[in-house]
Amino acid sequence: MADFDVVVIGGGPGGYVAAIRGAQLGLNVACVDDWKNAQGKSALGGTCLNVGCIPSKALLESSEQYEAVQHDMAVHGIMIQGVSLDLAKMMARKDKIVADFTTGITGLFKKNKVNSIAGRAKLLRRTEEGWRVGIDNGKREIVAKYVIIATGSRPRPLALAEVDGVQIVDNVGALSFSEVPQRLAVIGAGVIGLEMGSVWRRLGSRVTLLEAAPAFMAVADEAIAREAWRSFTKQGLTIYLGAEIDGVSQNKNGVRISWRDAKSGTQTLEVDKLIVAVGRVPNSEEVADAGVGLKRDAVGRIATDEYGRTCLPGVYAVGDVVHGPMLAHKASEEGVMVAERIAGQESSVNHHGVPWVVYTSPEIAWVGMTEQQLKSEGVAYKSGQFSFQANGRARCLNKASGFVKILAHARTDRVLGVHIIGPMASELIQQAVLAIAFSASSEDLARTVHAHPSLSEVVHEAALAVDKRAVHS
């Protein structure tokens, strides 16, 4: 007889949400997770909560406030002198937010009667009773009818720049500097590189980003990427594209990076700290015994169908460990879907409607297709764009840079993609997510009443602009 209906391997945003939803539906669920916090205690929430989404957003907000007090208050008639930074207190605030939320998940597990097991789990074999799952190298075994693999991802290593946690760090170390480095380099100008680079620039670092790709933010719409480049470089971030790293060395004074590009040839850069942010790889190598036959692709992602089913009966996988963007909200929705399907419901996830957000200043967010994707696929489309500069609320906030861009099908007017760079883009994008979820047209958005004055009016005007009828431009 099985010990549990479902065992979830991993307690991050995919795993813990799947566990809670399964328990809500009457399933006997266990969640096995091996994360330990800085104090060596078990901490649910995975990378996202412990060393990713939440602590980084805490530091982004704190650093924005620090920069605003220094540079942005005078325009409001507020004169401030003698501003100082207490980095230790800023870090303590960040750590408390993380601790509060990890404790909160523990409370949710108790409330929903999810069995929380601390340890590293591995899929061993299938028996008549169900799937046998080993914990901590076989010290304990449990049996489940179904297994959900939600083991997440880890930072991609860079052979030439081995992380030591002191001078050379990954996203974990980038959240925990004890002092502001005067000179900081980041290898990688993706989401993590831009966010962490923005935090430390605001706090006083001279930040240089070295990006191997020849294009900046290639996954974003080209118009958004151009505006982001203009904004970030104006703020003081130095960004080199097509940068190939030749070597990294350390000494007592810092880190020396040798790199080259097609334009300038070989160059050297000396910094106090180096952040390596060259992407992430799935945690899939040790999740199942080799004899089980769990299929993975060339980069380690577990093969699943659109409903999270693996090649093994009764075994599902969600989140960073499967195909698709490595985003916490995507993992959570997949976790809900899989739990509901195990419980007999017909759930699904619209992967075309998953929003992306970069929490820089200005924020960047998008959902759906980019203009370059539509062109490459030969889709006939029309577009509308409207600037925050013409929006009353944005001007009052003194955050009027950026714009909203809407792409709609040329014949049906169905919204195909929405791209935002500007204040509160992370919140505004939800209008677009709903529009895509319900197959709305740009006219649907254009004829929806938006509060005035509000930032959401920029979305409204961009929708009007799709048919060349924006009122305020």
Active-site residue list: 452
Residue 281 pairs in a beta bridge with 154
Q: What is the distance between the alpha carbons of residues 154 and 283, in angstroms, rounded to a whole number?
A: 7
Q: What is the distance between the alpha carbons of residues 11 and 14, in angstroms, rounded to a whole number?
A: 7
Q: How far is CA 49 from CA 12, 96, 213, 345, 464, in A?
A: 8, 12, 29, 29, 39
141: three-class secondary structure by DSSP: strand
Instruction: Name the nearest CA neighbour of 104 among 40, 4, 11, 8.
Output: 11
Report which DSSP code applies to 288: B
Report which DSSP code applies to 301: P
Q: Tell me the pairing of strands 356-358 and 315-317.
A: unpaired
Name the residue with tokens 């709305």: 440
Report which DSSP code applies to 388: G
Alpha helix (H) ranges present in 307-417?
Answer: 328-342, 371-376, 392-397
Q: What is the distance between the alpha carbons of residues 18 and 3, in angstroms, rounded to a whole number?
A: 18
What the block records as the tokens of 305 is: 């169908």
* Neighbouring C-beta atoms of residue 353, cutoff 10 Å: 16
Does residue 221 contact residue 367 with C-beta atoms inside 8 Å?
no
